[in-house]
Amino acid sequence: MSQLLCPHCEKPLLPFSLPEEGGWESPFHLACFNDDCPYYRRGWEWMESQYGVRTSYRYRLDPATGSASPIAVWSPTALRDRILDGEVTMEAEGAADADEDGKEGKA
């Protein structure tokens, strides 16, 4: 089975729990928690220049749909308390093949 990788830094995507009231199809999503990821690093400056907020974003993938989008984070430790143990793959979830935003690599 293939482990999903961040398309920006090639590090494994980690599962994290979602709030129950979020309305998502899955109880968790996948995100890149690599603090050296260029997507995350440049997000701080981009959000400040576009919206005047001290926030960044991490790459996020919904394993139920294969849809990728940013998830806002307000600090380097934001959402880390929601990281789940275990490896998740698209095959394990029964979702469609990952699109160009959700690269697959060997575990």
pLDDT tens, 11-27?
999 999 998 777 788 88
Tens digit of each residue's pLDDT (9 = 90 or more) over 35-81: 999 999 999 999 999 999 999 999 999 998 999 999 999 999 999 99
Residue 35 CA to residue 17 CA, distance in Å, equals: 19
What's residue 40's pLDDT? Answer: 97
Residue 104 CA to residue 46 CA, distance in Å, equals: 27
Indicate the residue type of 38.
P
The bridge status of strand 2-4 relative to strand 56-61 is unpaired
This prediction's pTM: 0.76
